[in-house]
Amino acid sequence: MNGSQIARVRTKICGITTVDDARCAVLSGADAIGLVFYEPSPRAVTIEKAKEICASLPPFVTVVALLVNAKRSFVEGVIEAIPVGLLQFHGDESEAECGGFSVPYVKALRVKTAQDFSEAEQAFPSAVGILVDTYKKGVPGGTGEVFDWGMLPTERCKPLILAGGLNGSNVRKAITAVKPFAVDVSGGVEASPGIKSPKLVKQFINEVSRERTS
């Protein structure tokens, strides 16, 4: 699916850790929220906290569960406990490890070369999309750093979700350059690690909305 064919760019606010932040994201116009099930992250949530957050959500907001090399039993437990609409795998998972669940998945890719995206499309044919993020050794995501968008192909078979150092100041430039299906932000809208800034969340989503109409 070529990015230029997308009528509008979707927005995901990732690393949600509180009910207030979830409500802020939704009221600001987010299409999806991301819940991080990876203990080393400052944005990690427990299943119990995730239940509380999800119970506060209105209809038609996608809940995305972010996982890093998680055991299959844990993934199944997350799916059983909360209304997950999409799984997002950020580790070294194979296609077999990502697939076969009751909900679809996207595979996260830390971009190092111009061939990476096309290779990921081929390696994960069952993925509903590929999320591209900044490569930083030993860090599975959430670096807060921008990578060279010029490495991304203009012709794609799968939807591209753009992450990596996005914020309200650069997201319009990113959308113009990459033409992604969706944008994904976490640290770029935070007051502190794991705590969102309502002002920055609204600014980010407003910038994406302005891009939709420009």
Q: Which residues contact 101 (CB under 8 A, 6 or more apart)?
A: 75, 76, 79, 87
* Residue 21 annotated among the catalytic residues of the structure: no
Neighbours of 76 (CB within 10 A): 13
Neighbours of 145 (CB within 10 A): 13
* Residue 116 annotated among the catalytic residues of the structure: no
Residue 69: name the closest of 36, 37, 91 by CA: 91
Q: What are phi and psi of 158, to 5 degrees?
A: -120, 155
Q: How far apart are CA 129 and CA 104, in angstroms?
A: 9
| Catalytic, out of 21, 31, 133, 184 | 133
Q: Which residues contact 204 (CB under 8 A, 6 or more apart)?
A: 11, 13, 166, 167, 168, 171, 185, 188, 189
| Catalytic, out of 14, 24, 54, 98 | 14
| Lookup: tokens for 32 | 């999806």
Neighbours of 187 (CB within 10 A): 20
Neighbours of 6 (CB within 10 A): 17
Residues marked active site are found at 14, 133
